[in-house]
Structure formats: structure tokens, C-alpha cells
Amino acid sequence: MGNFFQEFKDANKNMTPLSKLALIGAFIFLFLRLNLERVFQINTGVEIIILIFSLVLHELGHGFMAYFCGDQTAKIYGRLSLNPLKHLDPVGTLFPILMILIGSPMVIGWAKPVPVNYRGFKNGRVGEFLVAISGALMNFILVIIGAILFREFRFSSDFILLNGLEYLITINIILGIFNLLPIPPLDGSRVIGSFLSGRNREVIFDYDRFGILIVIFLGYFGILNKILGPIYITLINLINYYIAM
């Protein structure tokens, strides 16, 4: 437990006091809305496992792309591993688990960013762009895999399997489009940063510590749903069309 709280402290040491206050408030808000019935459901456990699996593979997408582009930092730090303990961020894991336990239809989460040394890339800004986009691409690959498997087993009577595949699809659509938002330190901001230089580029990194505050603000006032909702519905409709073919 001591290690957990130390990781929590280290992971959020650059967060502003206002962001920390907003984060604590969000945790209390979610905790007070816990659905005790969901805590003991098998599907809840399956969803949490799929969530963790998806977060880990998202970061592995970044790590392996950085490695292929010439940077060995992730490998040196042992981040090219399927071991969840090497990737999970205390806040980014607890936050979505609480959202699952209250039955929230919109679940967002994140893992510890893979360490990257941009100067190690053989192809410069191209490598930076590829690394930034690869996490979300991994999520969308999982969506495609989930859709193929769901189509294959759609007539199965195993509802745990079907619910698990459905969740694999939905959570990775959400994670993919959420991470592409141009909010530091989300991947979308890094994608934009790969095209910028000078002060414009530095501004993106300077605002990293405000990211969680912005996300909580957008989520609380329903703006996040309005941004992600139409894209999510469009992708779900495409998946449903494919499955029904």
C-alpha cells in the first residue's frame, strides 16, 4: 500500500494545486455514487480486466513504435512488457475503475506515459508523429479485432464472452478518440506538436500539468460527451453494420 501511495505522489508531482483539488473532488463524487450491485457482478470484473489490458497495449503501441524509430528508452526502462504493473498509473487506473463501478456509459483512463527520447529517432519529426499516433492506433486495432470476433461468435449463447467482446469494442473506441483530443498531455497534443516548432511547440508541453483539470472540467459540464459522442456513435454504427453483414 505504501508503494501505491508513493507512485500516486510521484505520478502527480507536477500537478497544480487546483488540479489536485479537482481530482480529489472527482474521486469523492464517483465514490459516493458507487453501485454496490455492480461490484459483485462477473461482467464488472471482465470490464476491469479488459480496461487494464487496453491501457497496457495502448502504451506498448507507443513503446514499440519508438523502438522501431530508433529510441531504446522504453526498452531500457522495461516498458516493452505486458506486465500491467510496469504501466498502470494509480490515478489513470482508479478513475476509470470507479466509473465502471458506478455504471458510467463513458469511461476514460490512462497509463503511465512510455519514456521517449525524441533525439533518438532516426527519422526525426516523422518518428515523433508515428509514436504519438500509435497508442490510439493500437486501440482501433483492438476495436477491429473485437468486431471480427464478435461477428464470428454473435450467435453464441455465452453472454459473458459476447459482453466482453462488446466492451472491448466500446472501451477502445472511447480510449482511441479520447486520446486524440488536442489536450496536453494526451496523444492528440503530441500529434500537433510534431508539426510545430519553437515557442508554439513548447506551449504544448508547458500545459501538461493542467491536462487533468481540463478533462475534469469538460467531463463535469458534459462537454466531453458532446465532443466524443458523435464520433463514438458514428464508429459504433459502422461496427454494427459490419457485424450484421
Active site residues: 59
- Output the nine-digit C-alpha cell for 243: 457485424
Angle between helical axes of 124-152 and 42-68 (0-180°, round to 10): 150
Cβ(130)–Cβ(222) under 8 Å? no
Cβ(173)–Cβ(143) under 8 Å? yes
Spell out the SS3 assignment of the chain.
CHHHHHHHHHHCCCCCHHHHHHHHHHHHHHHCCCCHHHHCCHHHHHHHHHHHHHHHHHHHHHHHHHHHCCCCHHHHCCCCCCCHHHCECHHHHHHHHHHHHCCCCCCCCCECCCCCCHHHCCCHHHHHHHHHHHHHHHHHHHHHHHHHHHHHCCCCCCHHHHHHHHHHHHHHHHHHHHHCCCCCCCHHHHHHHCCCCHHHHHHHHHCHHHHHHHHHHHHHCCHHHHHHHHHHHHHHHHHHHHHHC
Residues 114 and 132: their CA atoms lie apart, in Å, by 11
Residue 135 CB coordination number (10 Å):
28
